[in-house]
Chain A
Amino acid sequence: MDDAALSVLLSRIQFAVTISFHYIFPPLNIGLGLLLVAMEGFWIKTGKPVYKQMARFWALVFGLMFALGVASGLVMEFQFGTNWSNYSRFVGDVFGSALAAEGIFAFFLESGFLGLVLFGWDRVRPKVHYFATIMVALGAHFSAIWIVVANSWQQTPAGYRLVEHDGVTRAEVTDFWQVVFNPSSLDRISHVFSAAWLAGAFLVLSVCAYYLLRNRHVEFAKEGMKIALVVAAGASLLQLATGHKSGVTVAKYQPVKLAAFEAHFEADAPAGLWLFGIPNIEDRRVDYGIQIPGMLSFLVDGATSTKIPGLLAFDPSEWPPVQAVFQTYHAMVGIGMTLIALSWGGVLLWWRGTLFNHRWLLWVFVFAVLGPVLANHLGWFSAELGRQPWVVWGLLKTADAGSPAVPAQSVWISLIGFILIYALLFALFIYLLNEKIQHGPGEPAAAEQEQKAGISKEGHRA
C-alpha cells in the first residue's frame, strides 16, 4: 500500500473512531431535549414539584453530554478539511451551505440558551426558563436536520451540476431546495429523530428503573418512567415506519446497497428477508440463516414476486463490504424490534397497573439503554459502509477523497491521540454520569425552597 492509500485508510479509521464517540451524545440529547420540554411543561402546568425535580436533574445530564458533544463535534467539522481535502474541494459548494446553516441556526440556538437552562433557574421567571428549554431542544433537533441533509446529499445527490473550477472538477449548487430535499433527506431525518427520541427515552427509563430497584426517589422514578414510556412507545413504532420508508428509498436510488443489506446475490430475482445469517461471499450465498422468502420484494414493492436487482447485477468493484453491511444492518433491525416489544410490553403492564412490580423487568430496563445507542451506531455503520466505494454516490470515490498534503505518519499520530483521549473521556463520562445518578435529584421540597430563596434574592437585587 502506498503512503497516500494508507493515509486514506487511516483517515477512514480515524473518522469512524471520532464519529462513533461523538454520536453517543447528540442522539441522547435530542431525545432528552424532547423529554425536558415535556417534564418542564408538566411543571409549569401542574406546579407539582416532582416535575421540576425531573427537569433540573435531567438538564444537568443534558449539560454534561452537551459539553462532550461540542468538544467532539468540533473535531468532526475540522476533519473534513484536515483529512478529506479533496472531498471538501469537491462538495464544499453544496455541502458547506448546510454545515454553515447548522452552525448559525442550530448551534448558536442550543448553546446560547443552554447556559440559561443550566444556570438560570433562579435568574429568570419559570416561563422564560421554559422558553429557553424549548429553544435548546429545538436547537438540538435543527442541528440533526442540517447534518443529515448534508449526509443524505452524499447518498442521493440532487440539485447540483459538475463544473470545472480552476482546473479541478467540483459539484456546484443549481437548486438549493433540491439539495435540502434530496430524495433521501426526509426519510433519513425522520429515522434519525425517532432513533434519538428512543435513545433519550431509554436513558430516562434506565435511570428511573435503577432508582426503583434501589427504592430511592420513588415518585421521581415512577413519574419519569411514565413520561419516557409514552415517548418510547411512540418512537419505537415511528422508527419501524421510517426505517421501512428509508429502505424503499435505498431500493430505488442505491440498489446495490439494498442488495448488500440483505446479501441478495441473484442478478434479477425475487428476494427474501434474512432474519439472520452469515453471507458467504465466495459462494454467493448465505450460511446458517433463516429467511422469509419473497419478503424483501414485498416490502419494496408490495408483491412477493417482484424481481430485485442483486449484487451480481453489479460489478464486484462497486459492491460495498457485504459482510459488514449485512451484519450491522441486521443487528440494528433486531435491536429495533426488541425495543418495540420492550416499550409496548411496558405500556401494557402500566395499563394493567403492574409496571413497577416486576424486578426482572426493571433490571432489563436498566440495561436496555445500550440497545438504542448501539442500534444508532450500527445503523450509521450500515448506511455509511453501504455507500462504499463511494463517498458521494456515483460521483466521488472514497479512495480519491483524501488529503494529498497529509502523510500517513501524521494521521498515525492524530489517530493514536484521539484513541487515547477519547478512551479517557469515555471513562470519565461514565464515571461522572454514575456520580450524578448515585447523587440523585435534589429533594423536591429542597428544590422549591432553593428557588424561593433565589426569587427573594433577585427581588432584593432589583
Chain B
Amino acid sequence: MIAEAVPLLNVTWYVLIMILLAGYVVLDGFDLGVGSLHLFARGDRNRRLMLNTIGPVWDGNEVWLVTAGGALFAMFPEMYATAFSGFYLAFMLLLFALIFRAVAIEFRSKRESGAWRGTWDFLFFLSSVLGALLVGVALGNLAWGVPLTRVDGKLEMLGSLGDLLHPYPLLVGVTGVALFMMHGAMFVVVKTEGDLQEQARDWARNATIFFALCYVITTMATLLWVDRMTAVFRENPYLMAIPLLNLMAIANVPRTLYHKKDLEGFLSSAAAIVLLMALFAVGTYPYLIYSPVDPATNSLTVINAASSKLTLWIGFIIAMIGMPLVISYTFSVYWVFRGKVRLESTSY
C-alpha cells in the first residue's frame, strides 16, 4: 500500500477510466460475443441477422475503447506508455483482431458468393474470439501483477509475450470469452425472433453454464494465489456486497431465460459485467500495474503514473461536459434501433 494520501482527483480519474472500460466491455462485449457465436448460426439469413443485430452500434461501441485509451494516455501517461509498450505483441494482436472484425462486418454481405461469405464469417468469428480472449488476458495480467524494472528512471516491462500467457491470465481470458458469449447470446435473444431466437436461448443457457464454471475456477484461483486482490475485501467486509450482487446478477440470467424475460436477462448479464469490472477495480486499487518485484518502488499507482493536477482538472471538465453528451446519444441510437432486427436495403 502507498503511504501518502491519494488526492481526490486521482481517485476520480481511476474511477472514470474504469467506467469507460466497463462501458467498453459491456457494449463491445456483446459485439464480441455475437461474433464468437456467429458460426453456430446456420444458414445465410440467420448469419446476416446476427451481423445486423450489432450493425448500427458496433463502431460506436468500439469508440469506448478509443476514449478509454485516450483518457489513459492523458491522465496516466506512465501507465499507458509502460503497459502498451510492455504488452506490445499482445496489443498488436488485439489491433489485428479488431481490424479484421470491422472489415468482416463491412465486407461479408457485399457479395453473394458462398466462399466469400464463408471466409468473412470465419474471420468475424475468429477475430471476435481473439479480441475477447485478449481483453481477458490483459485484465488477468494486471490482476496477477507484472514485474517492472527501472530503465533510465522509467518503469518498463521487459518480459516477452510468453510471460504474459501464463495460466492465470489465460484462465481469465477464457472466462472473458465465456462471459461475452453469454452476453452476446442474450443480446441476440433480445434482438431476434423465431428460430434464431430459440437457438440463441440455447446458446445463452450453455454459455451461462460455461461461464459459471470458469467463474468458479477463476474465483478459486484468485482466492488461492492472488492474495493482493482479495485482501481489501477481507479488510472491508461491506465491499463483499459487490461479489454478492455479482452472483445474483449471474444467477438471474438463467432465471430470466426460463421466464422469457429477455430484456431483463440481457440487463442482468450487463450488470454482471459491470460488477466484475468493479471487483477488478476495487481489488487492484491503488495500483495500475502491480510489480511483484519491489512492489513499493517499482509499481505504477494512481499517484506516480498520473499527469499533473492541472491536466487532471482539465480532463475532468472535458469529461463532465462530454460524458452526458455521450450517454445521451448512445441512448438515442439504441432507442431508435430498439425492437427486433429486420433485414433492409441498407443492412449489412
Contacts and interface: CB of A to CB of B under 8 A. Distances in A.
Interface stretch (B31-39, B86-94, B132-140): B86-94
Interface string B139-169: 0000000000001111011100000000000
Top 9 closest A-B pairs, CB basis? A92-B77, A96-B74, A81-B84, A115-B56, A103-B67, A104-B322, A167-B153, A403-B85, A85-B81
Nearest to B55: A119
Given A167-B153, A173-B314, A88 B333 contact: no
Contact of B92 (A107, A114, A404, A414): A414
Contacts of A176: 310, 314
A23 to B, nearest CB: 16
Nearest to B105: A67
A391 interface: no
Interface stretch (B2-10, B193-201, B229-237, B340-348): B340-348
A99 B62 contact: no
B346 A119 contact: yes
Interface string A89-130: 101111111011111110111011111101111111000000
Contacts of B59: 66-67, 70, 111, 114-115
A83 B80 CA distance: 11
The secondary structure that dominates the B interface is helix
A425 B103 contact: yes
Given A82-B92, A108-B63, A108-B325, A100 B71 contact: yes
Interface residues of B, number: 72
Contacts of B82: 85, 405
B118 interface: no
B318 A104 contact: yes
Interface residues of A, number: 76
Nearest to B307: A93
A120 B344 CA distance: 11
A81 B73 contact: yes
A66 B106 CA distance: 10
Interface string A56-86: 0000100010111011111101101111011
Contacts of A71: 98-99, 102-103
A421 interface: yes
Most buried by B among A115, A124, A410: A115
A81 B329 contact: no
A394 to B, nearest CB: 20
Contact of A413 (B92, B156, B304): B92
Given A78-B95, A100-B70, A404 B333 contact: no
B336 interface: yes
A292 interface: no
Contact of B311 (A70, A75, A86, A97): A97
Interface in B42-71: 55-57, 59-60, 62-63, 65-67, 69-71
A172 B308 contact: yes
Contacts of B157: 405
A2 interface: no
Contact of A88 (B60, B77, B102, B319): B77
A318 interface: no
Given A97-B311, A103-B70, A109-B329, 19 more contacts: A77-B66, A80-B73, A82-B91, A85-B156, A92-B74, A100-B71, A103-B63, A104-B322, A113-B333, A115-B55, A118-B56, A121-B346, A122-B344, A166-B78, A168-B154, A173-B314, A404-B156, A410-B88, A414-B88
B96 A81 contact: no
Contacts of A81: 69, 73, 80-81, 83-85, 91
Interface string A397-432: 000000111100010011001000100010010001
A86 B156 CA distance: 10
Contact of A123 (B156, B307, B337): B337
B110 interface: yes
Contacts of A115: 55-57, 59-60, 333, 337
A218 interface: no
A435 interface: yes
A104 B17 CA distance: 12
B143 to A, nearest CB: 20
A97 B98 contact: no
B71 A103 contact: yes
A405 B86 contact: yes
A174 interface: yes
A33 to B, nearest CB: 16
B323 interface: yes
B77 A428 contact: no
B209 interface: no
Contacts of A405: 82, 85-86, 88, 151, 156-158
B99 A72 contact: yes
A119 B330 contact: no
B315 interface: yes
A341 interface: no
Nearest to B148: A405
B77 A82 contact: no
Nearest to B323: A104
